């Protein structure tokens, strides 16, 4: 058993601001912009206003093919760059997955500005959790908590439906609920270094309670998002271009950069595995998912790969957390049994949360995949490709095998518990 080195360590000081972590956690400090005010970008905003109806009429591609290539050079504030990223994320997935079968080419009016905007934010040029959730909401009341879904609204959806809005709002509320635990666990790491078991115990108890509340929010998915609607109408638009041979994209998508330039690219789609909050919770508990979702003998595994789909500053924050995380080691080595008990309680709550996630995925993806896809759906997409796939081979929008990945994540969480 390693000896406790806490007395030799200086106090931890983590300034959250450079990492883009605010009092709202990984949600922005200020509400996301609802519109780019510069008239130069008005053609983008007009299409965003009409997006659901354009997709319903299968006329989105026609509209975009008339667009000229706009430069991101007139964007200034971070919120403007995030707004541009959101718009181009929705454009990308709308163009690829509009009814009638996927487009293997993304026109330069989307790909040229998107490559620049994505690079600026340290993100890939595809729809990610950040674009669909973190930067895609507003509050109905300035004083209301962002963890209360009734006080939130979503800025944009593919389908114009309450179901899709609710689907994103659940994630926003979960992120907000989890935000309060970040400073608490940073203090706990500091307390572990200076051997203050009562502080670490209290923090772990709060952690367990916070994760329980996040799980309660996740269960609320059932209230206003219908499983069949999610599966057939929403999920196809969230799919990426990686591991999508079965959905009609054998080579991914060609990002046309004009004048014969461009390249084939493959990206995972929007996935909750791209939530920095969930990965933060794992890191502070010392839960290891090294090979989750990876084939045997390959590293680093799906969850680690998903960090490339997080804003660059959030990715750096998680790397920094990994370098200082000490709670599990402290719980293992301290003589104070209340610490290890509180630690195991926190691990148990994380396992329960992952069980809730498996139940949601079963209800929203596994069960509908065994039912007939409505004949109104025309052309290949993820819903059609997934129907009749065996449960083990069923892929998520992120491109990984769903149930094996989720079960392994849960089992690895349970394995973190101390004897």
What's the pLDDT tens digit per position in 49-58?
Answer: 999 999 999 9
| 320-367 pLDDT, tens digit each | 999 999 999 999 999 999 999 999 999 999 999 999 999 999 999 989
Which residues contribute to the annotated binding site for heme b? 357
Q: What are phi and psi of 401, to 5 degrees?
A: -65, 130
Specify whether the CB–CB gap between 35 and 47 falls below 8 A: no
The strands making up 105-106's β-sheet, listed across from edge to edge, are 105-106, 253-258, 261-265
* pLDDT top residue among 401 and 312: 312
**Looking at residue 383, what is its pLDDT?**
65
The verdict on residue 3 lying in a domain is no
Residue 16 lies in a domain: no
| Nearest alpha carbon to residue 241 among 400, 96, 100 | 96
Q: CB within 8 A of 168, min separation 6: which ones?
A: 132, 133, 136, 137, 154, 157
Number of domains in the chain: 1
In a domain, 7, yes or no: no
Q: At what angle do helices 276-285 and 181-193 cross, to 10 degrees?
A: 20
pLDDT-based confidence at residue 207 (cuts at 50, 70, 90): very high
Q: 293 and 136 in contact (C-beta within 8 Å)?
A: no
Q: Assign residue 369 a region: left if phi > 0, alpha if psi is -120 to 50, beta otherwise?
A: alpha
Residues 6+ apart with CB under 8 A from 351: 410, 413, 414
β-pair type (253-258, 152-154):
unpaired
Give the span between the Cα atoms of 49 and 60, in whole angstroms. 12
The CA distance from 189 to 320, in Å, is 13
Question: How far, in Å, CA of 59 to CA of 99, rounded?
Answer: 9
317 CA to centre of own chain? 16
Q: Does residue 167 belong to any structural domain of this protein?
A: yes
Question: Whose CA is closest to 99, among 129, 65, 56, 138?
Answer: 56
pLDDT of residue 295: 41
**Is 17 domain-assigned?**
no
Exposure class string for 19-48: b at 16+ Cβ within 10 A, else e: bbbeebbbbbeebbbeebeeeebebbbebb
In a domain, 2, yes or no: no
Query: What is the model's pTM?
Result: 0.92
Report the distance separating Cα 50 and Cα 404, nearest Å.
39
Beta carbons within 10 angstroms of residue 185's beta carbon = 24
Q: What DSSP line would sit under 136-205, residue for residue? A: SEEESSTTS-TT-GGGEEES--SS--HHHHHHHHHHHHHHHHHHTHHHHHHHHHHHHHTT-HHHHHHHHH
Is residue 399 within 8 A of residue 242, CB to CB? The reply is: yes
2 pLDDT more than 60: no
Residues annotated in a binding site: 357
Assess contact for 269 and 238: CB atoms under 8 A.
Answer: yes
Q: Can you tell me the mean pLDDT for 92-113?
A: 96
CA-CA distance, 354 to 60, in Å (whole number)? 37
Q: How far apart are CA 22 and CA 18, in angstroms?
A: 10
Q: Is 114 inside any structural domain?
A: yes
List alpha helices for 362-401, DSSP H: 367-369, 382-386
Query: How is residue 25 annotated by DSSP?
Result: B
Q: Is the peptide bond before 300 cis (omega within 30 degrees of 0)?
A: yes
Contact 240, 268 (CB under 8 A): yes
How far is Cα 242 from Cα 314, in angstroms, rounded to an integer?
23
Q: Do 192 and 326 meet the contact criterion of CB atoms below 8 Å apart?
A: yes
In a domain, 12, yes or no: no
**Per-residue DSSP letter, 40:** G
- Give the tens place of pLDDT for each residue, 170-201: 999 999 999 999 999 999 999 999 999 999 99
Instruction: Please tell me what DSSP assigns to residue 363.
Output: I
Give 143's pLDDT tier (boundaries 50, 70, 90): confident
Q: Which domain holds residue 63?
A: 22-415
Band of pLDDT at residue 8, cut at 50, 70 and 90: very low
Answer whether residue 266 shows pLDDT above 80: yes
Q: What is the CATH number of the domain that holds 269?
A: 1.20.58.480
Residue pair 170/220 in contact (Cβ under 8 Å)? The answer is yes
Q: For the chain, give the percent of residues with pLDDT over 70.
A: 88
């Amino acid at each position: 058993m390693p000896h406790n080195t806490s007395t030799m360590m200086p106090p931890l000081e983590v300034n959250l601001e450079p990492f883009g972590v605010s009092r709202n956690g990984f949600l922005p400090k200020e509400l996301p912009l609802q519109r780019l005010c510069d008239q130069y970008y008005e053609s983008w905003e007009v299409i965003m206003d009409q997006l659901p109806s354009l997709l319903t009429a299968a006329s989105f591609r026609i509209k975009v093919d008339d667009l000229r290539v706009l430069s991101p050079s007139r964007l200034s504030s971070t919120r403007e760059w995030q707004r541009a990223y959101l718009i181009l994320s929705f454009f990308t997935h709308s163009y690829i997955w509009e009814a009638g079968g996927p487009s293997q080419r993304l026109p330069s009016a989307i790909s040229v500005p998107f490559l620049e905007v994505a690079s600026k934010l340290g993100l890939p040029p595809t729809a990610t959790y950040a674009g669909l959730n973190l930067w895609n909401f507003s509050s109905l009341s300035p004083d209301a908590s962002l963890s209360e879904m009734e006080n939130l609204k979503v800025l944009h959806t593919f389908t114009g439906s309450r179901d899709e809005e609710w689907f994103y709002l659940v994630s926003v509320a979960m992120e907000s609920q989890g935000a309060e635990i970040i400073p608490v666990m940073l203090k706990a790491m500091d307390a572990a270094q200076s051997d203050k078991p009562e502080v670490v115990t209290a923090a772990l108890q709060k952690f367990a309670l916070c994760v329980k509340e996040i799980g309660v929010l996740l269960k609320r998915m059932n209230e206003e998002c219908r499983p069949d609607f999610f599966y057939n109408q929403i999920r196809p638009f969230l799919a990426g271009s990686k591991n999508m041979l079965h959905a009609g994209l054998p080579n991914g998508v060609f990002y046309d950069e004009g004048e014969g330039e461009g390249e084939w690219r493959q990206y995972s789609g929007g996935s909750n595995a791209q939530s920095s909050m969930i990965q933060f919770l794992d890191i502070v508990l010392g839960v290891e998912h090294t090979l989750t979702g990876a084939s045997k003998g390959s590293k680093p595994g799906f969850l680690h790969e998903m960090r490339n789909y997080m804003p660059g500053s959030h990715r750096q924050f998680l790397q920094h957390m990994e370098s200082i995380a000490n709670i599990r080691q402290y719980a293992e080595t301290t003589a104070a049994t209340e610490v290890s008990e509180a630690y195991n309680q926190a691990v148990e709550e994380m396992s329960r949360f992952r069980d809730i996630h498996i139940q949601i995925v079963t209800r929203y993806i596994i069960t509908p995949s065994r039912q007939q896809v409505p004949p109104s759906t025309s052309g290949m997409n993820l819903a059609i490709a997934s129907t009749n796939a065996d449960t083990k081979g069923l892929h998520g929008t992120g491109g990984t095998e769903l149930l094996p990945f989720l079960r392994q994540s849960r089992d690895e969480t349970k394995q973190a518990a101390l004897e």
